[in-house]
């Protein structure tokens, strides 16, 4: 009804409104118990999903352990091939979830349009489930009929429910922003892979807050109390201020602005997050302020844990070092293609392949901290050697450009750099329990797959076949991982592992060869052959045939390193052959830009469906893991 309410009807509640600035009238207490139950149900749902992820982690861990133990007992078996009925049923269920979750139907690769790319289908389905849950919470039992005794409060009932739905999500959003958070610690899902949900849940809160204030505002308009509410109820102003801050954070959290100046984004985002908590604290009633304190607790736990870890790491309190000089001594080396190799010769901690650290270099830029993937693996615990940590850092602008310029000067002066490290961070997958592994990287993305390659050829596992594809623009870029690739070939040969490394040099006008770049050693000879390579044009899926020179570092029939010039491979040419010849489960890991990761997602999902994996055809499962450039 749009009939104006008599002014006396609202003024009868004035005593309650003025007696407590944390209340909004006698109607608030009327709905509190029900709204608190709804808020509690939200956290129950989060706990159930977390529990399912924990169960999945435990099953995967046990599965990995059993597979590797079986392979050690009899290396002629294929442990990743399910044999029992229960194992086959579980594999079919996992395959179905993968086919649903992997594909990314809508993606863009333009300079601006890429920021409008929707999440993969699996994330979209999870987001749809999240929204469905919130809609049920928001609208269940709040639409009143004219015969209801609470009909006079029909606007407030929806407004209060929307308020609870909104404020209940706030701790979850702050939780997802933390590097140290219970969900990651329990489920093994890295904070990096939860960040998309952090952004989307914040956007969702922005919308549910609109429902909150719109219903109250409608009531104020009908009662002619808009001016009175703003004059006598400061909490209203604080509420609109909180909504404005969330709107600002949502807007500036858009990928374009994050990439434009990440340091500025982080600084203003932290300030806005602190301002939001204060505005919410003075806006919400006292019995809802626990949401603010819970958010503070999550952030405090994260910051304290990171500070303590950083102090312990850089003061070497728990290390074997006798000289406890703060930080680490590092050397920077400028490489072709605007690449910088930063080497810490004596890292007194361990890490996993695929993890990253946060790096600070006070002598270069004292107030900046940047994340970089560790491009090396730690030495085995049984070795007497010291850990050497390497970071491969591509120069763009800001810190990375300054570091590259400094590395050129350091080469002349012999100067070292003092760096400070926090980490390692990230929870990369363990690939040792797969039968076949395909690693794909573009340019500096090899910083992620190179340590994974070394872990697979160094440590015992079930992997018998390894296919590595590295796509680079110029043959000069081969020097980035020259020693790493040579060592991997040697280790694979000693372990009788089938390793095929193919390096695709896309620049057609580049006459460099691996021999001129120094990529030859005692492990074998290099031969050059002319071949025709089918590739995809960068503009689309149009196939073209080009004459390409292929250089082969042949070690033995099962191990080889090939460099294909003028080669731009399709995802199908890299993934389909290993999958079709696999006897057990295959892992496909890709690190690169949005285009290569989206194409890999779509092809793996389509290939799994085409081969009817674990659906009676005998085709084995395909696991996929993607890492994308950028923040």
433-475, pLDDT tens digit by residue? 999 999 999 999 999 999 999 999 999 899 999 999 999 999 8
Torsion of CA 484, 487, 488, 493, to 10 degrees: 170
Confidence at residue 125, expressed as pLDDT on a 0 to 100 scale = 96
Residue 144 scores a pLDDT above 90? no
Q: Give me the pLDDT at residue 42, please.
A: 97
Residue 515 has pLDDT above 70, yes or no: no
Per-residue pLDDT for 22 more than 60? Answer: no
Asked if residue 316 has pLDDT above 60, the reply is: yes
The upper half-sphere exposure of residue 453, i.e. CA atoms within 13 Å in the direction of its Cβ, equals 32
43-57 pLDDT, tens digit each = 999 999 999 999 999
Least confident span in 147-151, 162-166, 408-412? 147-151
Which band of pLDDT confidence, cut at 50, 70 and 90, is reported for residue 543? very low
Task: Tell which residue, 27, 34, 39, has the closest CA to residue 151.
Answer: 27
Q: What's the pLDDT score for residue 439?
A: 97
Distance in angstroms (rounded) separating the CA atoms of residues 45 and 581: 42
**CA-closest candidate to residue 24, choices 239, 245, 275, 247:** 239
Model confidence band, residue 523 (pLDDT cutoffs 50, 70, 90): very low
The rounded distance, in Å, linking the Cα atoms of 214 and 159 is 8
Residue 550 has pLDDT above 70, yes or no: no
Would you say 190 and 57 are in contact if contact means Cβ atoms under 8 Å apart? Answer: no
pLDDT tens-digit profile of 177-230? 999 999 999 999 999 999 999 999 999 999 999 999 999 999 889 888 888 888
In the prediction, which pLDDT does 297 show?
Answer: 97
Residue 110: predicted pLDDT: 87
> Exposed (0-12), middle (13-18) or buried (19+): which is 180, by Cβ within 10 Å?
middle
Tell me the C-alpha distance between 64 and 456, whole Å: 14
pLDDT digits (tens, 9 = 90+) for 73-100: 988 889 999 988 899 999 999 999 999 9
Residue 25 confidence (pLDDT):
47
CB atoms within 10 A of CB 453: 29
* 556 pLDDT higher than 70: no
More confident residue, 232 or 451: 451
Question: If you average pLDDT over every residue of the chain, what do you get?
Answer: 86
Lowest mean pLDDT among 19-28, 376-385, 504-513: 19-28
Residue 173 pLDDT: 97
- State the residue for tokens 């706990």: 47
Range in 134-138, 244-248, 293-297, 398-402 the model is least confident about? 398-402
Residue 157's CB: how many other CB atoms inside 10 A?
22
- Token readout for 35 is 């709204």
Residue 456 CA, chain-centre distance (Å), reads 22
DSSP letter, residue 146: T
Mean pLDDT of 242-249: 97
Which residue spans within 514-585 are E strands per DSSP? 525-536, 543-556, 559-565
Listed in sequence order, the DSSP H helices in 77-145 are: 85-102, 121-139
Output the six-digit token pair for 109: 């690769």
- Which pLDDT band holds residue 562 (cuts at 50, 70, 90)? confident
DSSP symbols for 34-65: HHHHHHHHHHHHHHHHHHHHHHHHHHHHHHHH
346 versus 182: which is more confidently predicted? 182
DSSP characters over 355-412: -EEEEEETTTEEEEEEEEEB-S-PPPTT--SPEEEEEEEE--STHHHHHHHHHHHHHH
Nearest to 31 by CA among 120, 148, 158: 158
Q: What is the pLDDT of residue 290?
A: 96
Which tops the pLDDT comparison, 127 or 537?
A: 127
Whether pLDDT at 520 is above 60: no
Determine the length of the chain: 631
Confidence tier at 630 by pLDDT (50, 70, 90): low
Burial class (CB in 10 A: 0-12, 13-18, 19+), 134: buried
Most confident of 367-371, 547-551, 627-631: 367-371
């Amino acid at each position: 009804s749009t009939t104006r309410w008599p002014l006396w009807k609202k003024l009868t509640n004035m005593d309650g409104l003025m007696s407590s600035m944390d209340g909004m009238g006698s109607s608030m207490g009327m709905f509190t118990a029900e709204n608190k139950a709804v808020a509690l149900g939200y956290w129950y749902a989060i706990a159930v999903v977390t529990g399912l992820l924990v169960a999945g982690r435990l099953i995967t861990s046990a599965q990995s352990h059993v597979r590797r133990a079986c392979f050690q007992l009899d290396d002629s078996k294929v442990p990743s091939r399910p044999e029992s009925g229960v194992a086959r049923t579980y594999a079919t269920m996992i395959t179905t979830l993968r086919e649903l979750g992997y594909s990314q139907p809508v993606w863009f690769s333009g300079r601006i349009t890429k920021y409008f790319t929707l999440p993969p289908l699996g994330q979209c389905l999870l987001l749809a489930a999240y929204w469905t849950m919130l809609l049920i919470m928001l609208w269940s039992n709040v639409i009143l009929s004219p015969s209801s005794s609470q009909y006079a409060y029909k606007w407030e009932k929806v407004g209060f429910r929307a308020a609870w739905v909104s404020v209940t999500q706030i701790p979850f959003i702050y939780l997802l922003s933390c590097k140290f958070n219970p969900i990651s610690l329990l489920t093994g899902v890295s904070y990096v892979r939860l960040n998309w949900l952090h952004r989307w849940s914040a956007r969702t809160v922005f919308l549910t807050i609109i429902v909150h204030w719109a219903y109250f505002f409608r009531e104020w308009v009908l009662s002619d109390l808009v001016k009175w509410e703003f004059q006598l109820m400061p909490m209203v102003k604080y509420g609109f201020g909180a909504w404005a801050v969330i709107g600002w954070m949502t807007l500036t959290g858009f990928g374009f602005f994050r990439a434009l100046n990440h340091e500025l984004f982080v600084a203003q985002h932290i300030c806005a997050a602190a301002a939001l908590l204060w505005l919410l604290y003075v806006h919400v009633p006292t019995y809802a302020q626990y949401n603010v304190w819970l958010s503070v607790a999550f952030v405090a736990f994260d910051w304290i844990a990171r500070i303590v870890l950083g102090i312990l790491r850089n003061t070497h309190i728990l290390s074997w070092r006798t000289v406890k000089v703060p930080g680490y001594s590092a050397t920077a080396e400028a490489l072709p293609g605007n690449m910088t190799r930063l080497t810490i010769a004596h890292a007194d901690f361990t890490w996993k392949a695929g993890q990253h650290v946060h790096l600070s270099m006070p002598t270069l830029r004292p107030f900046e901290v940047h994340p970089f993937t560790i491009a090396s693996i730690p030495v085995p615990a049984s070795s007497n050697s010291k850990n050497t940590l390497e970071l491969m850092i591509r120069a763009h602008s800001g810190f990375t450009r300054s570091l590259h310029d400094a590395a050129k000067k350091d080469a002349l002066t012999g100067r070292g750099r003092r760096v400070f490290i926090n980490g390692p961070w990230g929870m990369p997958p363990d690939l040792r329990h797969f039968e076949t592994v395909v690693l794909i990287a573009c340019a500096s993305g090899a910083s992620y797959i190179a340590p994974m390659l070394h872990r697979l050829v160094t440590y015992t596992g079930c992997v018998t076949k390894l296919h590595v594809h590295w796509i680079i623009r110029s043959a000069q870029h081969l020097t980035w991982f020259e020693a790493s690739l040579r060592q991997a070939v040697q280790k694979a040969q000693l372990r009788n592992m089938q390793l095929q490394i193919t390096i695709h040099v896309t620049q057609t006008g580049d006459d460099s060869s691996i021999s001129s770049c120094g990529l030859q050693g005692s492990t074998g000879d290099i031969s050059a052959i002319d071949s025709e390579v089918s590739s995809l044009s960068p503009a689309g899926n149009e196939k073209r045939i080009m004459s390409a020179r292929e250089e082969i570092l042949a070690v033995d029939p099962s191990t080889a390193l090939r460099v294909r010039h003028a080669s731009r491979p399709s995802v199908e040419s890299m993934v389909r052959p290993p999958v079709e010849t696999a006897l057990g489960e295959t892992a496909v890991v890709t690190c690169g830009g949005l285009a290569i990761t989206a194409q890999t997602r779509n092809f793996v999902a389509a290939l799994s469906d085409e081969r009817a994996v674990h659906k009676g055809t005998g085709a084995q499962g395909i696991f996929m893991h993607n890492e994308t450039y950028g923040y």
